[in-house]
Amino acid sequence: MAIYDLIASYGPAVDSGSDKWAGGLWSEDGTYDFGDAVLSGRPEVERMVRGRTHQGLIEGGVAHIMGMPRVWIDGDSAVALGYSQVCRYQDGRFELWRVSANRWELTWDGSAWKVDRRQAYLLDGRDAARALLGSQVAQ
């Protein structure tokens, strides 16, 4: 349940502009790879939330929606595969803006699960997103 809570927390954290909450989901040196950029470390995740692009999305109306992932747990490590959607408010209505395949690699730090790596690739026909959904848990 704690892994589902972590993943479900991402949307409210970034949509409220809570940079420390969002960054706190990641391990200190965790990465966030969303296809055209990679954020390295908790401070970069926090900077992204505070950044002009993200703040513009919040001001215009945005919702990051995480689908329920499939989760594998192996001791203090876990992998979750699933989907995310980003909806924006534009011209008086909501539109579906982004749909991505997601792979979350997590580690239990003794008190909480933390994101070591998140990959979120657009489902726009490129092979990377399909490969991500078909990836197997490391053994």
**CA dist., res. 34 & res. 87, Å (int):** 16
pTM to 2 decimals? 0.93
Is domain 2-124 classified as CATH 1.10.1200.10? no
Tally of CB atoms within 10 A around 98:
15
What integer pLDDT is reported at residue 95 of this predicted model?
A: 97
**CA dist., res. 14 & res. 49, Å (int):** 6
What integer pLDDT is reported at residue 135 of this predicted model?
A: 83
What integer pLDDT is reported at residue 139 of this predicted model?
A: 39
Look at residue 87 and give its three-state secondary structure. strand
Domain range list for the chain: 2-124
What integer pLDDT is reported at residue 66 of this predicted model?
A: 97
pLDDT digits (tens, 9 = 90+) for 19-35: 999 999 999 999 999 98
pLDDT digits (tens, 9 = 90+) for 44-91: 999 999 999 999 999 999 999 999 999 999 999 999 999 999 999 999
